Amino acid sequence: MKINLRGIKAGIAVPLLATLIIGLSMLCIFNYFSQVTLMNDEAEEALTSTINATQTIIDGHLSLYQQMSALIAGMPTVAEAMSRGDRAKLSSEFFQSFDFLRNQANLNQFNFIKPDGIVLLRLQDPGRHGDNLAEIRKTISDVIEKKKGVRGIEFGRTGLGLRGVEPVFSKGIFVGSAEFGGDLIPAFSEVKKAFGAEIGLLVVQQATAQVSKEWQKQARPIGGYLPFYSTKPELSQSVLTDALLMKAKNASTSIYMDLTRSGDREYSVALTSLKDYSGKEIGYLYVLKDRTAVVNKIRKTLIVNVAVYLLMLVLVSVVIGYTINANVIKPVISLTTAADDISMGKLTEKVEIKGAKNEIAILAKSIDRMRVSMKKLLME
């Protein structure tokens, strides 16, 4: 009698292998998504820290500019010169100091303004004066109105700057104001150096009406916004899109985060709205972090995991196959052969399975007892 045990093998091996394949696949998928989730959480935390650090550094620069303005405004020689409108005195007194500060401290504005908001002296451009800043700058008009120092981000004729303005008094009479200012690039550079991220600013296109028309022609709009500052301009132009800005605009969180690509590079991006001194929203502060290396590392880890799991699957399959064959298939073949012999009347040979254990051994003894019983019946 020909014994076909293919069904037994399939019935035992297939469910076991299917269970192993499903289990290892789920483990592989779980590991992959766990690493991706961890990477995204770390990226969000890093981007949030970078955004917060940028805002803190900007506030620090603003505070410094206001303190410097207060120091200058409190000098008796300044009060006296401004009460007389003595441009020459102020220029000779501070030009060299400002030249040093401009080169060493990234300071680009040092202005003296008359009580009516008319520029008395721009140390960064001494030949240009006489225009009314109070008409376009709320920091100046507020100092004139409230006679108190202010600081904030504000557009001017030369662009968007960080301003610190303090009133100047001579014998208790308001005689004008002193102003220090700088741009955002030094603050962005500090953040890039500390966090290794690219920082930039997009401003609402309408908010730049008073800025140089030449600059507006050179800047390429992105969804109604213009790139104003960036530590890597070519990257922001390729990564930031109209759709991304629309998502940020409709986001319910103060910091919007997303993933984007530029060529073969993958980036994490965070955007948060930026307000000027008057509280008006003027654009977005954004941070870009290259995550390509991390993503590639996770993918390589996934490949290694798959290879390891496949090797485990092969080894486990071999072990299971050998175990089933040794402990189930071979004993069943022997028992089937013995039962077939008994059915043919061959009752002399004892039924015995070497190495048989548990139910197989019990079954072998039962068949052997049946053989003995049949032999006795035939002998009677």
Segments making up each domain of the chain, as ranges: 59-182, 298-379
Mean pLDDT of all residues belonging to the chain: 83
Q: Do 165 and 204 meet the contact criterion of CB atoms below 8 Å apart?
A: no
Highest mean pLDDT, choosing among 118-122, 252-256, 324-328:
118-122
100 compared with 82, residue with greater pLDDT: 82
pLDDT exceeding 90 applies to what percent of the chain? 28
Confidence band for 34, pLDDT divided at 50, 70 and 90: confident
CA dist., res. 310 & res. 25, Å (int) = 10
Taking residues 276-285, what's their average pLDDT? 89
Nearest of 255, 218, 252 to residue 44 by alpha carbon: 255
CA-to-CA dists, residue 291 to 16, 19, 232, 237, 241, angstroms: 40, 36, 16, 18, 18
CA dist., res. 285 & res. 32, Å (int) = 32
204 compared with 123, residue with greater pLDDT: 123
CATH superfamily label, 298-379: HAMP domain in histidine kinase (1.10.8.500)
294 compared with 64, residue with greater pLDDT: 64
Q: What is the pLDDT of residue 1?
A: 47
State which fold the 59-182 domain adopts.
Beta-Lactamase (3.30.450)
Residue 171 has pLDDT above 50, yes or no: yes
CA-to-CA dists, residue 143 to 57, 108, 113, 161, 174, angstroms: 24, 21, 11, 17, 10
* Angle made by CA atoms 51, 248, 263, in degrees to the nearest 5: 85
For residue 26, how many other CB atoms are within 10 A of its CB? 10
Look-up: residue for tokens 């890039």? 192
Confidence band for 213, pLDDT divided at 50, 70 and 90: low
CA dist., res. 349 & res. 164, Å (int) = 109
Helix residue ranges, H only, the chain: 6-73, 76-84, 87-104, 138-146, 185-195, 213-218, 233-239, 242-250, 292-324, 330-343, 358-379
Query: Pairing state of beta strands 159-170 and 150-156?
Result: antiparallel
